[in-house]
């Protein structure tokens, strides 16, 4: 399971690598560059699944089970 994901801001394109929690989704993330508050895109569970290079651990675990 990958615990690092690089979140890219849709407003300013700033990228930051973050460590994800293994047992929870993150619903809000503030861009470190422009301050834009990212929230999940409709149909996605969290900001990592919406804007990250890797989906959140709960989704990774779900995909591995299939």
The string of pLDDT tens digits covering residues 7-33 is: 999 999 999 999 999 887 899 999 999
> What's the sign of the alpha-carbon dihedral 23, 27, 31, 35?
negative
The full set of domain ranges for the chain reads 4-65
Length of the chain: 66
What local confidence, expressed as pLDDT, does residue 3 receive? 96
- Structural contact between residues 9 and 51, judged by C-beta atoms closer than 8 angstroms: yes
- Specify the pLDDT at position 25: 84
Q: What is the model's pLDDT at position 24?
A: 79
pTM of the model: 0.89
| Residue for token pair 């990212």 | 38
Mean model confidence pLDDT for the chain:
94
| Residue of 34, 62, 32, 35 whose CA lies nearest to 46 | 62
């Amino acid at each position: 399971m990958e615990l690092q994901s690089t979140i890219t801001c849709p407003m300013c394109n700033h990228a930051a690598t973050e460590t994800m929690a293994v047992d929870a989704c993150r619903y809000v993330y503030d861009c470190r560059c422009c301050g834009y508050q990212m929230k999940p895109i409709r149909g996605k569970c969290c900001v990592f699944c919406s804007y990250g290079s890797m989906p959140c651990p709960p989704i990774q675990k779900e995909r591995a089970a299939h």
